Amino acid sequence: MKKFTLKWPLISIASSFAFLTFVVPLYGAALYSFRGEGGKGHSWVNYQWLIHADGFYLNLFTSLKLAVLAGVLNLLLMVPTMVYLNLKGQKFKSLIDFLCILPLIIPVVSLAIGAQVAMPEFLQNSEYELVFFFVIIALPYTYRALDTSLQTVALKTLVEASRSLGATWTRTIIRVIVPAIRGGITGALFLTFALSIGEYTITSLLHWETFPTWTVVAAQQNILGAIAISVFSFVGAIALLSIIALFSKKGARQVEVDE
Amino acid sequence: MGVVKAHSRVRSSGPGTGVLPLLPFFIFTSFFLLWPIVAVTLRSLHGNENEWTLANYRPILKSGPYFHAFVVSIKLSLVTSIIGSILGAFFAYVIVKYARGKFEAVIDSISAVFANSGGVPLAFMFVAAFGVEGIVTTTLKSLGWDIYAGHFTIFSFTGVVMVYSFFQIPLMVLVFKPAIAGLRREWEEASTSLGASSLTYWRRVGIPILFPSFIGAFFLLFAGGFSAYATARALTVGTVPLVPIIIGTLVDGNVISDQANLGDALAVGMIVVATIAMAGYIWAQRKTAKWRSS
């Protein structure tokens, strides 16, 4: 009963605070971005500028492409690794723990400078080099997301059941484990995608052009336009991730009920 | 552990033997993570004539602009991670406790976006809201409160603290939510059935269990704030001297130092500070793991 008395005060404090810190700046920026010519009235002029600006589609496409590739590569690398680790890789656990935390320890600026020194020429000449570093930057989050959800399922029992029914390892991973840890996989994918699409540090220090670095350059011509871009990317990212979240929750419910 | 051994004996074939299945991971991280770190460290130990030297580190250790940059960076990360961890923990609690289903999913994705928005859009958004001509500024002014009356500007230390909190709080929510969600209902039930009040439960069970995770998350936020680059870069244009910004200007060639590899030494210096913070994180993680396993 006690919970009921606390529930609404807590929710209202949290929501009003969230409103002040997160909604107000976003709303303020959105209002600003709808200002017309010379700061007067409301119009779509900044968004029109944005869409017609040189390089808008090109850089947006580049960022989306790199983010998708990073998300896919991340899962291909990490799902088998994490499953194996939780099943029988225990003796490597602390080493892998460490390697996955390392990208948080190493400041991205330092990693970028290291990349400049260490990467072979052919990689440095291709924008796809960013995909690898996006995966590295996302590693700590992917690891957490996958590890947490792997620990909530009875992995060994699932594997044992599947294998004793004659399923191959690949089939076991794809048909049994992946659905069971769908929440973790979606989380990992989210984070990688969100990190990659907004990544600025490595991209700019390695002198590549993606959507975020293009924004900074574009801002120098038109600050209202740059604010429009910011609102666009925030709202776009939230909408996109929410859709994915809602979509994947639907599929994951079956598994959650089973637990 | 005994169970694990039994399993591996039953299935000696398949991709489940030895280090082989982990090889892709090890190769990937060695090449894209470890090798760059080693490479930058090695180059930081070389002078202009490619000779071995410690000279690149001297400007960091004696008082001067580079030393000062480290002080400011550390101060900024401390302040924002204190704000972020306390408020974020509160939000995480409310979300875990009361948000359900689709709503929770949406909050999750919003947190993910905000937490990872330590980027350029954030800076422009805050200019639009809290800049001299910003919406919030002008609204408050019309209500009689001129936030620019004092020393405040969005481009100052306080301004950067505000902006950083914007991603530190949601990051805390993301990191700390699993810890709160991991509090088992049985623990609360057990403690209640033994006659404990809700307050006693939190004081004797809840907070002690969550504390290591909280401290761990705090260090994580510290390291994140310390390394953040994009927002400060776009927002301050160098008015607040932070180490990453200085490295950036050295890399872009906007500032020429007579020491060619000074930027490498600064980068390694950042790694050192962040390592100390993350040692705290790892220590706290161990404590958390102990709770979970026992």
Question: Which residues 176-235 on chain A approach chain B with CB closer than 8 angstroms?
Answer: 187, 190-191, 194-195, 198-201, 204-205, 212-213, 215-216, 219, 223, 226-227, 229-231, 233-234
* φ/ψ of residue A42, rounded to 5: -120, 140
Please report the number of interchain residue pairs, chain A to chain B, with beta-carbon separation below 8 angstroms. 281
Lowest-pLDDT choice from A169-178, A203-212, A242-251, B17-26: A242-251
Is there a contact between A200 and B87 if contact means CB atoms under 8 Å apart? no
Q: Report the mean per-residue pLDDT for chain B.
A: 82
* pLDDT at position B70 over 80: yes
Bridge partners of residue A6, in order along the sequence: none
Q: What is the pLDDT of residues A210-241, one digit of tens each?
A: 988 888 888 777 788 888 888 887 888 778 77
What pLDDT score was predicted for residue A151?
84
Does A152 reach chain B within 8 Å, measured CB to CB? no
Q: How confident is residue B292, by pLDDT bands cut at 50, 70 and 90?
A: low
d(CA A72, CA A103): 19
* pLDDT at position B278 over 60: yes
Bridge partners of residue A201, in order along the sequence: none
Strands (E) in chain A, as ranges, are none
CA A49 vs CA B121, B199, B239: distances in Å: 17, 56, 30
Q: Provide the 10 A C-beta neighbour count for residue B50.
A: 10
Best mutation target, B102, B116, B141, B199, to test chain A (most A CBs within 10 A): B116
Spatial contact of B47 and B53, defined as CB atoms under 8 Å apart:
yes
Best mutation target, B8, B87, B125, B249, to test chain A (most A CBs within 10 A): B125
Q: Which residues of B11-45 are buried (b: 16+ CB within 10 A; e: fewer)?
A: beeeebeeeebbeebbebbebbbbbbbebbbbbbb
d(CA A40, CA A42): 7
* Phi-psi domain of B3 (left: phi exceeds 0; alpha: psi -120 through 50; beta: other): alpha
Nearest to B264 among A26, A113, A230 (CB): A113
Spatial contact of B150 and B67, defined as CB atoms under 8 Å apart:
no
Nearest to A245 among B26, B33, B106 (CB): B106
Residue in B with minimal Cα distance to A108: B227
Q: What is the pLDDT of residues A4-42, one digit of tens each?
A: 567 788 888 888 888 877 788 888 888 888 877 666 667
d(CA A88, CA A85): 6
What pLDDT score was predicted for residue B71?
94
Helix (H, G, I), strand (E, B), or coil: what is residue A118? helix
Q: How confident is residue B9, by pLDDT bands cut at 50, 70 and 90?
A: very low
Helix (H, G, I), strand (E, B), or coil: what is residue B263? helix
* pLDDT at position B76 over 80: yes
Higher pLDDT, B229 or A41: B229
ipTM of the assembly? 0.83
What average pLDDT does the segment B240-260 reach?
81
Q: Which residues of B touch A77 (CB under 8 A)?
A: 24-25, 28
Q: Report the mean per-residue pLDDT for chain A.
A: 83
Is there a contact between A80 and B1 if contact means CB atoms under 8 Å apart? no
Give the residue from B178, B16, B28, B113 showing the smallest Cα distance to A78.
B28
Spatial contact of B37 and A106, defined as CB atoms under 8 Å apart:
yes
Q: Which residues of A touch B21 (CB under 8 A)?
A: 80-81, 84, 89
What is the value of pTM for the model shown? 0.79
Q: Which residues of B touch A111 (CB under 8 A)?
A: 33, 36-37
Is there a contact between B91 and A115 if contact means CB atoms under 8 Å apart? no
What average pLDDT does the segment B150-171 reach?
84
Give the residue from B100, B50, B90 showing the smallest Cα distance to B264.
B50
d(CA B145, CA B273): 39
Nearest to B113 among A132, A201, A241 (CB): A241
What pLDDT score was predicted for residue B1?
39
Give the residue from A137, A153, A160 showing the smallest Cα distance to A258.
A153
What average pLDDT does the segment A156-163 reach?
86
Lowest-pLDDT choice from A225-229, B79-83, B247-251: A225-229
Give the residue from B247, B50, B39, B42 showing the smallest Cα distance to A117.
B39
What pLDDT score was predicted for residue B81?
94
* pLDDT at position B17 over 70: no
Looking at residue B204, what DSSP letter applies?
I
What pLDDT score was predicted for residue B156?
83
d(CA A232, CA A29): 10
What average pLDDT does the segment B44-64 reach?
86
Q: How confident is residue B34, by pLDDT bands cut at 50, 70 and 90?
A: very high
d(CA B268, CA A22): 34
* pLDDT at position B113 over 80: no
Q: A257 Cβ partners below 8 Å, 6+ apart?
A: none
Is there a contact between B97 and A10 if contact means CB atoms under 8 Å apart? yes
